[in-house]
């Protein structure tokens, strides 16, 4: 087995939007598979009929595709170990349950939810760890038949032997759990649906998973799962439990800390590569002070023992910083592709590619997220931009007027000379000091205010290039009129 290419899996339950913590688990598995030339399997854990939704599943697949995390086997990519939805594997779980029943390693449990809750409360009130105390473990055959005849539904519990359960975690080292502290756990519910710990063992075994990489919140599940591997005579995979993403208060990152779903970050205009890069970086997975990694570099540098050892605080400011860094170096065409939903939302579906690329080039140093493009599309639209109160205030001086009138004169003097947009700034601006008797800021500030309606924004030369002669004239006239 050691020389076989590794097989890893990401096994989400589609009961909500994809959380960045889970996306990070998917990424670690994916990087591990790529680094080791192994296979990455996507398995949908959809046995919870109440909480599972097809919409969440569709969103999940879309989010993974957006992130560029693809799978070798899974939904839409059937392979030898399918089906890849747990809901389509129920007969497999049934067969394995029967084996465990025959071997008397599991027993039917008739306790009702009320009885279990009462037991839990009683243990808690006595300051004992809540667990199943084994009420149904030693029922006689007669009692079982009687309860079954009464129509009492039975769940199946695994009889946990006392004694230690140990394993060597690839990230955390030697782990040890005490069987006596765990309590017999349910492997199949009374409605016949397998519990997570049971289904996952059968699937990981049948799908020939070699490494299970998941969050450390699953550590105690691993102890239970190891008992099932042993009971079923399966060779267990290697386990690696990475630390979780934390909020600023060092508790597990959750909604009360702000955005947590991959979808939310996409909607806020974060580039997919940036989210991947940031998630990989969290917890110093790669270290060495380097912060920007291409996917190829992430694959090369990835190693489990460095990944996710300590809990890392999710810092949205850092994510935005990384986003602006990427936006600066990405080509306008690529950015335009990612910006489509924001362009649509702002109502600029019909903008030409050429104009869009010009605007992106003009403003990308000012962007921290892609959604901000909507604002700049309006700034450069003669019918949509507005003169802000600050801009009007700045333009209300005699000097400002001189600057506006000065540039308007120079534009008029261009006469019929075809206005080469890219050259306007270089041609006209050197003439402005002589024309107005002013220089530096006294020229730039009023011009930015008059031409964009704002006191802060992209560099002026870029604004000239986007606006061109007629928009420049239109805007100067408007600003002069507004301050007259
Ligand atoms: N469906 C489980 C979850 O989403 C999978 C955990 C595992 O990787 O085993 O938490």
User: What tokens were used for 351?
Assistant: 């903008």
Residues paired with 261 in a beta bridge = 19
Query: Which residue from 27, 20, 67, 64 is spatially nearest to 314, judged by alpha carbons?
Result: 20
d(CA 409, CA 241): 70
CA 243 to ligand 1 centroid distance, Å: 15
Phi, psi of 165 (to 5 degrees): -120, 120
Instruction: Quickly tell me which residue has 């947009």 as its tokens.
Output: 421
d(CA 394, CA 153): 78
Whether 449 contacts 401, CB under 8 Å = no
Which fold would CATH assign to domain 7-85+246-313?
Answer: Rossmann fold (3.40.50)
Q: Return the CATH class of domain 385-482.
A: mainly alpha
Instruction: Quickly tell me which residue has 């690529």 as its tokens.
Output: 334
CA 12 to ligand 1 centroid distance, Å: 6
**Domain 385-482 in the same topology as domain 7-85+246-313:** no
The conformation of residue 54, written as its DSSP 8-state character, comes to: H
- Kindly tell me the number of DSSP H helices and DSSP E strands found in the chain: 21, 11
Whether 279 contacts 27, CB under 8 Å = yes
Provide residues with CB under 6 Å of ligand 1: 11-13, 45, 200, 214, 218
CA 114 to ligand 1 centroid distance, Å: 27
How far out from the chain centre does Cα 248 lie? Answer: 18
User: What tokens were used for 462?
Assistant: 């870029």
Whether 69 contacts 186, CB under 8 Å = no
Tell me the C-alpha to C-alpha distance, in Å, between residue 79 and each of 31, 41, 165, 167, 206. 20, 9, 34, 30, 12
Instruction: Quickly tell me which residue has 């500030």 as its tokens.
Output: 445
Q: Domain-by-domain residue ranges, the chain?
A: 7-85+246-313, 89-242, 332-376, 385-482
Which fold would CATH assign to domain 89-242?
Answer: Rossmann fold (3.40.50)
Residue owning the nearest CA to atom 10 of ligand 1: 12
Give me the tens of pLDDT residue by residue for the chain, a chain 484 residues long. Answer: 457 899 999 999 999 999 999 999 999 999 999 999 999 999 999 998 889 999 999 999 999 999 999 999 999 999 999 999 999 999 999 999 999 999 999 999 999 999 999 999 999 999 998 999 999 999 999 999 999 999 999 999 999 999 999 999 999 999 999 998 899 999 999 999 999 999 999 999 999 999 999 999 999 999 999 999 999 999 999 999 999 999 988 888 888 888 899 999 999 999 999 999 999 888 765 556 778 888 999 999 898 877 767 788 899 999 999 999 999 999 999 999 999 999 999 999 999 999 999 999 999 999 999 999 999 999 999 999 999 999 999 999 999 999 999 999 999 998 766 666 788 999 999 999 999 999 999 999 999 999 999 999 999 999 999 999 999 999 999 999 999 8
- Separation of first and last alpha carbons in the chain: 83
Whether 298 contacts 276, CB under 8 Å = yes
Task: Tell me if residue 255 is catalytic.
Answer: yes
Backbone conformation region of residue 128, classed left if phi is above 0, alpha if psi is from -120 to 50, else beta:
beta
User: What tokens were used for 206?
Assistant: 């049948």
Query: Which residue from 236, 212, 304 is spatially nearest to 8, judged by alpha carbons?
Result: 212
By DSSP bridging, strand 155-158 and strand 106-109 are: antiparallel
d(CA 464, CA 380): 10
Active-site position among 255, 318, 401, 456: 255
CA 283 to ligand 1 centroid distance, Å: 21
User: What tokens were used for 323?
Assistant: 């986003």
- Give, for ligand 1, the residue of 7, 8, 11, 27 to mutate: max count of ligand atoms closer than 8 Å to Cβ: 11
């Amino acid at each position: 087995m050691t020389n076989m290419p590794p097989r890893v899996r990401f096994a989400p339950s589609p009961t909500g939007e994809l959380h960045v913590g889970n996306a990070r688990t998917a990424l670690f598995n994916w990087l591990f598979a790529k680094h080791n030339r192994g296979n990455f399997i996507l398995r949908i854990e959809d046995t919870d009929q109440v909480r599972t939704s097809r919409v969440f599943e569709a969103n999940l697949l879309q989010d993974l595709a957006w992130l560029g995390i693809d799978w070798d086997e899974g939904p839409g990519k059937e392979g030898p170990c399918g089906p890849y939805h747990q809901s389509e594997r129920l007969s497999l779980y049934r067969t394995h349950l029967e084996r465990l029943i025959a071997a008397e390693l599991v027993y039917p449990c008739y306790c009702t939810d009320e009885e279990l809750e009462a037991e839990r409360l009683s243990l808690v009130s006595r300051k004992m760890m809540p667990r199943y105390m084994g009420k149904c473990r030693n029922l006689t055959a007669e009692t079982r038949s009687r309860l079954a005849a009464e129509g009492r539904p039975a769940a199946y519990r695994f009889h946990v032997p006392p004694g230690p359960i140990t394993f060597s975690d690839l990230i955390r080292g030697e782990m040890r759990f005490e069987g006596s502290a765990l309590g017999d756990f349910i492997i199949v519910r009374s409605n016949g649906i397998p519990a997570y710990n049971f289904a996952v063992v059968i699937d990981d075994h049948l799908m020939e998973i070699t490494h299970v990489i998941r969050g450390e919140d699953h550590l105690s599940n691993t102890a239970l799962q190891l008992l099932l591997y042993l009971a079923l005579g399966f060779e267990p995979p290697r386990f690696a439990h990475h630390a979780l993403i934390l909020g600023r208060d060092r508790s597990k990152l959750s909604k009360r800390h702000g955005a947590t779903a991959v979808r939310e970050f996409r909607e806020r205009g974060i580039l997919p590569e940036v989210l991947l890069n940031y998630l990989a970086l969290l917890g110093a997975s790669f270290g060495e002070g380097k912060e920007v990694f291409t996917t190829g570099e992430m694959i090369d540098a990835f190693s489990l023992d460095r990944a996710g050892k300590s809990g890392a605080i999710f810092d949205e400011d850092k994510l935005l910083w990384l986003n602006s860094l990427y936006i600066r170096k990405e080509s306008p065409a690529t950015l335009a592709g990612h910006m489509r939903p924001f362009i649509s939302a702002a109502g600029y579906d019909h903008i030409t590619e050429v104009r869009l690329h010009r605007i992106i080039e003009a403003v990308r140093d000012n962007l921290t997220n892609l959604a901000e493009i909507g604002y700049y599309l309006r700034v450069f639209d003669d019918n949509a931009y507005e003169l802000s109160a600050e801009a009007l205030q700045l333009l209300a001086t005699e000097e400002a007027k001189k600057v506006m009138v000065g540039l308007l004169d120079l534009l008029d003097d261009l006469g019929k000379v075809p206005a080469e947009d890219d050259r306007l700034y270089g041609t006209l601006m050197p003439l402005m000091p002589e024309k107005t008797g002013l220089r530096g800021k006294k020229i730039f500030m009023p011009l930015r205010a008059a031409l964009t309606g704002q006191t802060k924004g992209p560099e002026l030369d870029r604004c000239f290039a986007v606006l061109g002669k007629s928009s420049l004239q239109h805007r100067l006239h408007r600003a002069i009129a507004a301050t007259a």
